[in-house]
A and B are shown apart, each in its own frame.
Chain A
Amino acid sequence: MRVPGMLHGALRLADHARADVLGIDTEAAEALEGVVAVYTGDHVPGQLSVGLIHTDWPVFIPIGGRTSYLGDVLAIVVAETQQIAREAAELIHISYDVHIPFTDASSALDSEEDAVWGLDGNVLSRSVYARGDTDAALADSAHVISEVFETQRVEHAFLEPESTLAVPREDGGLHVYSGGQGVWDDRDQICAVLDLPTDEVSVQLVSNGGAFGGKEDMSNQAQTALAAHLSGRPVKCTLTREQSMLVHAKRHPIRIDLSVGCDGDGKLTGVKARMIGDSGPYASVGMKVLERAAGHASGPYVTPTIDVEAVAVRTNNPVCGAFRGFGANQAQFAMEGALDRLAEKVGITGWEMRSRNVVEPGVIWGPGQRMDDGCLGARQCLEAVKEAYETARSEGKAVGLGLSLKNSGLGNGFKEVARAVIRFREDGQVEVRHCWTEMGQGVHTVALQVAVTELGVEPGRIEVIVDTSRELGAGQTTGSRGTLMAAGSVKAACEAAIADGCQIGVDYPGEYIIDWTNSLEEDVEEPILHSTFGYAAQVVIADPETGKIERVVAAQDVGKAINPTLCEGQVEGAVHMGLGYALTEDFPTDETGRPTNMTLRSLGIIRPKDMPDVDVILVEAPDPGSPYGVKGVGELGLVPTAGAVAAALHQVDGVWRARLPFGVHQPVSP
């Protein structure tokens, strides 16, 4: 995107993960021909920090402040070209007093010293719950496994790096084009930084080139908006790939100390989990990720006792936050591993073990929720892959199975509101405004399909729009809730329009609200933690000699497939990401807090030729409480994958894997 008179912005990031900033010398940068201005923390008129939940993430580290990770921003340069801006950013001279960073979550947890500038203590959050006497149950169990599972940090690697364009409006306000995941959050945070009322900043969503959760927090929106606001000229700022990797929040590495017991028949007796997640310096949504990991600790299984604690720890490693799966991946990699180890002790297959423990309607699950008919999807997924599982085993293949659940939406007591507006125009077109970010998953198509179905008009007459012209604010497009809540709100808006005869030029609003969930802390009998769960079973089939993965059979319960092609596309893409998670993807840091895999190449994303066949089976077990019975789709497809790969590789070489990633083509031990 470009507009007349546009300047280019470039960020200058920190050189040390934890260092006092003594001085920022911008002279050489400003002297470079083509540079218009350099802005730092001193120029911020409003709030210095932003954040989706806690306001703890500084948009600049000012002189006198302290960096807390390598993605911290010190300055933004504005220049005539991108090349000049980027060159000038490197000419800014910053003097530091360097401190030793906290790069290990356990040591940060034990330390008295604060890891992060201006924040007290290194515990971001602690999510705890228990049901029954788990220690006693484990002591009485026929079989118990106790093991530490470790998952790695992962970079989203969406293909389009973050980009923002901010344009001063004629009325003195600012119009911002953002590639984020939630334009109302962007707007409110920009207003706080610039100290402007919300009607002076409008934010328009630009369909982004992939996000997967990595574009929920602000990246460069505030700095770019500030530069445009102060210079009075349009400014566009696109992060370089390295900056993108340094700045945005990653998937949490979590250390999971897990004990699971069962009786002689393989029926689970208890689950005890202690999790420590490295959340990096700023909150982002890290506490919610660990809360979700805690809630999903027992997977889609019934256990009479459970005892879970999950701690999010502040460190000076990269910030961790939202990433497709949101804690469910880490927790269920561990739980699936435990289940397979127990199945071996009992002497039954992984399929049989899961079949004996899977949730059924009416049972109490995990933290205490009574499951409704929506959970029939779990067994249906299991049944859907049974034949593939048994056939591959009988052919002598190395076969692993994973079964998982994932909530849709935020849940945990969070009130979620989605709004939509339908408007019939003079020219015969129908505007459908909803509040969710299109990032490749097809939520615009879903909104369109619902409007077509409900209103009975031609698809060509419908225009799907997302902007801040109406107050539809819904927060982030996250937690696989886009389809569910867009469908609900657009449906309601269509019903309002029909009831009023679809008059031209009238805004017909519709709402979809989920306000009946409970948080983990609330002390209620049978809490409803999440409104909806989806389920997925995957069979990973590998060559018994080499361990090369040949095929993945992925059954997924989507409740109701509004658009089967989009659903399948989501599952295939998710399996690709899940295999990368299991085998090759990693984003580690060294002892200075610096990521060591700083190119797309080194991230270990699976290439076309290494991608096995994926057979997708869509299962429809409608959710009794959601519009059309819809369940979220986006995240679940990579939750069971790592566990299934671990089980398959165990059949190749007899080694139980507890640490991600496993690496490819493990040599077979003689």
Chain B
Amino acid sequence: MQVSMTVNGKAVTADVEPRTLLVHFIRESLSLTGTHVGCETSYCGACTVVVNGRSTKSCTMLAVQADGAEITTIEGLASNGDLHPIQEGFWERHGLQCGYCTPGMIMSAVGLLDENPSPSEDEIRHGLEGNLCRCTGYHNIVKAVEYAAAKMRGEEPAPAEWEVTS
């Protein structure tokens, strides 16, 4: 079957088997491998992308269901080599260790901050409910999102804990 969609601002058209998951379409057909697969059972969130403005687990959707959609993956986030504030936040606040969950976390955070530009810590934790991380204990991920939220509101992010204590 033929599908057409806009991915990271570019129009793409391709032939896919009807049962192809969106995540496989993105990784295999479009070679955008920043979107990860952790479970394929809609639990881990490693495959999260933004579909028509909403954070979506791309393993829960068929490629054909995304026909006509506007999709942003982690590769489409930085503009002209400048990191997106959320990417910058993960960098600045050591929000990753192995990094496997990171693209999904970031794409969930995009949706989260879009709906709520000033989330509390609790709201961030609930907002990232669908994303699993086995390495970090989430603490620095929350800090990374707080950093990004401040930046996106045009404010100066609060200093990191280690900047305060040492």
Chain A hits for B44, CB < 8 A: 159, 600
Greatest chain A CB density within 10 A among B17, B40, B43, B100 is at B100
Judge if A308 is at the interface, Cβ distance under 8 Å. Answer: no
| Minimum CB distance partner of B42 in chain A | A601
Contact B162 A208 (CB under 8 A): no
Contact A441 B97 (CB under 8 A): yes
| Minimum CB distance partner of A637 in chain B | B137
Chain A hits for B36, CB < 8 A: 159-160, 209
| Minimum CB distance partner of A211 in chain B | B98
Contact status of A439 and B98, CB under 8 A, knowing A160-B38, A599-B39, A599-B43 = yes
Q: Is the interface of B mostly helix, strand, loop or mixed?
A: loop
Judge if A459 is at the interface, Cβ distance under 8 Å. Answer: no
Judge if B73 is at the interface, Cβ distance under 8 Å. Answer: no
Q: How far is the CA of A566 from the CA of B138 in the complex (A)?
A: 14
Q: How far is the CA of A574 from the CA of B128 in the complex (A)?
A: 20
Chain A hits for B129, CB < 8 A: 607-609
Judge if A442 is at the interface, Cβ distance under 8 Å. Answer: yes
Chain B hits for A609, CB < 8 A: 122, 125-126, 129
Contact B137 A573 (CB under 8 A): yes
User: Which A residues from 448 to 462 make CB contacts under 8 A with B?
Assistant: none
Greatest chain B CB density within 10 A among A158, A440, A564 is at A440
Contact B98 A605 (CB under 8 A): no
Contact A157 B125 (CB under 8 A): no
Contact A572 B133 (CB under 8 A): no
How near does chain B come to A595, taking the closest CB pair, in angstroms? Answer: 15
| Minimum CB distance partner of B38 in chain A | A159
Q: How far is the CA of A159 from the CA of B131 in the complex (A)?
A: 11
Pick from B98, B139, B162: contact of A159, CB below 8 A: B98
Judge if A568 is at the interface, Cβ distance under 8 Å. Answer: yes
Contact A568 B162 (CB under 8 A): yes
How near does chain A come to B74, taking the closest CB pair, in angstroms? Answer: 14
Pick from B43, B142, B162: contact of A601, CB below 8 A: B43
Inter-chain residue pair count (beta carbon < 8 A): 120
Judge if A569 is at the interface, Cβ distance under 8 Å. Answer: yes
Q: How far is the CA of A161 from the CA of B134 in the complex (A)?
A: 13
Judge if B149 is at the interface, Cβ distance under 8 Å. Answer: no
Q: How far is the CA of A638 from the CA of B39 in the complex (A)?
A: 25
Judge if A346 is at the interface, Cβ distance under 8 Å. Answer: no
Contact status of A611 and B138, CB under 8 A, knowing A209-B98, A441-B97, A442-B97 = yes
User: Which B residues from 57 to 105 make CB contacts under 8 A with A?
Assistant: 94, 96-101
Pick from B33, B100, B124, B132: contact of A605, CB below 8 A: B132
Greatest chain A CB density within 10 A among B129, B138, B166 is at B138
Contact status of A611 and B125, CB under 8 A, knowing A209-B100, A210-B98 = yes
Contact B98 A608 (CB under 8 A): no
Chain B hits for A241, CB < 8 A: 38-41
Q: How far is the CA of A439 from the CA of B24 in the complex (A)?
A: 24
Judge if B135 is at the interface, Cβ distance under 8 Å. Answer: yes
Contact status of A608 and B128, CB under 8 A, knowing A159-B38, A440-B98 = yes
Judge if B46 is at the interface, Cβ distance under 8 Å. Answer: yes
Judge if A47 is at the interface, Cβ distance under 8 Å. Answer: no
Chain B hits for A2, CB < 8 A: 31
How near does chain A come to B140, taking the closest CB pair, in angstroms? Answer: 6
User: Which A residues from 377 to 432 make CB contacts under 8 A with B?
Assistant: none
Judge if B148 is at the interface, Cβ distance under 8 Å. Answer: no
Contact A575 B135 (CB under 8 A): no
Contact A605 B134 (CB under 8 A): yes
22 pairs from A and B in contact (CB 8 Å cutoff)? A82-B28, A83-B20, A83-B24, A156-B134, A159-B44, A159-B100, A160-B100, A161-B38, A210-B100, A564-B162, A566-B94, A568-B162, A572-B139, A573-B135, A600-B41, A600-B44, A608-B124, A608-B131, A608-B141, A608-B142, A613-B139, A614-B137
Closest 10 CB pairs of A and B: A440-B98, A209-B100, A440-B97, A576-B137, A572-B137, A159-B100, A210-B98, A609-B125, A608-B125, A160-B100
Q: What residues make up the interface of A, taking CB atoms closer than 8 Å to B?
A: 1-2, 81-83, 156-161, 207-210, 212, 240-241, 439-442, 564-566, 568-570, 572-577, 599-601, 605, 607-609, 611, 613-614
